[in-house]
Amino acid sequence: MRLNKYLATAGVASRRSCDEVIKEGRVTVNGNTVSDLSTFVDVELDKVEVDGRPVHVKTKDVYILLHKPLNYVTTVKDEKGRDSVIDLVRISDRVFPVGRLDYDTTGLLLMTNDGELTFRLSHPKFGVEKTYVAVLNKKINEQELSYLRKGVVLIDGKTAPCKAIKLGKEVVQITIHEGKNKQVKRMFRKLGFKVRELHRTQYGPLHLAKLKYGQWRNLRPPEVQALKKAVGLA
């Protein structure tokens, strides 16, 4: 099996994204770094690793909803040795976070080995909504909320219009459908605010419900179907 197909089948990412992972020198086969996209591997005999972690061809699709606690990274490997959400979900199947939540951000995190679904959920063209509750360092008024809703000009471009509801003097519920790096925090910073706490409550059709910090569960079939429908896979 060609290496990029192996990685995509294992749920690392879409096949196109796996090409980049290979070219970046992050993949080893039997201990040797491989950057040639034409490489083939034996599913039964070869040992494949990404960022030092073993990768196996999946036998089934796994979809997990995790309530991310504070002070966990959502990367597979962290140079600073910080705790990773990967360590919270101890199952035999290898799953990866869909997108990222900052180290100091809490809330709903989807994890799966479905590479194509991961790619589509992360791509802005599918417009999957993500809802957060932000606790600010000072009061916010309706004029500032209106400015936020229309989109904010950031260094990497103007954000798309969003939904923003005031829940308290210093608390705002904001729904976006893009995935710019640290987008919510930067949007508020542009308006002169600092986000003291940030918590994601919803991702597409998924809600946290009663899950406690650090707890996780498998998605129910209707939830998986709803996710796939949202990105044109069902």
Contact 216, 65 (CB under 8 A): yes
Active-site hit among 61, 83, 102, 156? 102
**CA–CA separation, 168 vs 135, rounded Å?**
9
Angle at 175 between CA 173 and CA 179, to 5 degrees: 130
Q: Which residues pair with 68 in a beta bridge?
A: 107
12 contacts 4 by C-beta, under 8 angstroms: no
Residues 6+ apart with CB under 8 A from 172: 133, 134, 136, 140, 145, 148, 164, 165, 166, 188
d(CA 214, CA 232): 30
102 is annotated as an active-site residue = yes
Considering only CA atoms, give the Rg of the chain: 19
Separation between Cα atoms, residue 75 and residue 26, nearest integer Å: 14
What six digits make up the tokens of 104? 């100091």
Q: Which residues are identified as catalytic?
A: 102
